């Protein structure tokens, strides 16, 4: 959870600045979403690779509780870092694309943010309570990468 939220925050901070300078924030948003989808497709392979590496290094049995935990955190950051950083940049990019000088009260941005949050909640509920049970882990990952991501 820390890696995921940290990646979102880092992405919003770094890529949000880029979105502010972008002449075409919609294109930036599209590239970021494409990157999220590609890294989601690659995640089963990456999870298998880091799992093998963790076992090869002996895991907690060989590294101790602190060493094993630190290694798991590091390996999680390797797998989740890029997609979560990209995800963190999507909302600033789409907000930059949607903002308008005519909307002084920023109502459209409030609606956009609310829809983004609603989409994230629905996606999390779908994945947790329906897709994982009905489709399994791999098919859920594939479907998420094909049909969009919550950011």
Higher-pLDDT residue of 77 and 107 is: 77
Q: Above 50 in pLDDT, residue 151?
A: no
* Per-residue pLDDT band at 80 (split at 50, 70, 90): very high
Question: Taking the chain, what is the end-to-end CA distance rounded to the nearest angstrom?
Answer: 14
Q: Above 60 in pLDDT, residue 52?
A: yes
The set of long-range contacts for 113-116, using a CB threshold of 8 Å and a minimum separation of 24, is 116/91, 116/150, 116/151
Contact 146, 37 (CB under 8 A): yes
- Please state, rounded to an integer, the average pLDDT across all residues of the chain: 88
Contact 8, 84 (CB under 8 A): yes
Contact 78, 46 (CB under 8 A): yes
Contact 98, 58 (CB under 8 A): no
Global pTM reads 0.76
Q: Above 50 in pLDDT, residue 124?
A: yes
Q: Above 80 in pLDDT, residue 23?
A: yes
Contact 37, 145 (CB under 8 A): yes
* Per-residue pLDDT band at 32 (split at 50, 70, 90): very high
SS3 assignment, position 121:
helix
* Per-residue pLDDT band at 150 (split at 50, 70, 90): very low
Domain ranges of the chain: 2-147
């Amino acid at each position: 959870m820390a890696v995921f939220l940290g990646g979102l925050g880092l992405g919003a901070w770094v890529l949000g600045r880029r979105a502010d300078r972008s002449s075409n924030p919609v294109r930036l948003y599209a590239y970021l979403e494409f990157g999220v989808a590609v890294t989601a497709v690659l995640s089963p392979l990456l999870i298998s690779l880091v799992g093998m590496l963790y076992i090869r290094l002996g895991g907690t049995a060989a590294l101790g509780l602190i060493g094993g935990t630190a290694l798991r955190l590091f390996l999680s950051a390797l797998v989740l870092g890029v997609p979560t950083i990209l995800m963190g940049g999507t909302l600033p990019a789409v907000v930059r694309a949607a903002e308008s000088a005519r909307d002084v009260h920023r109502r459209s941005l409030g609606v956009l943010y609310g829809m983004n949050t609603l989409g994230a909640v629905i996606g999390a509920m779908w994945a947790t309570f329906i897709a994982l049970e009905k489709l399994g882990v791999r098919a859920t990952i594939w479907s998420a990468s094909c049909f969009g991501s919550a950011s």
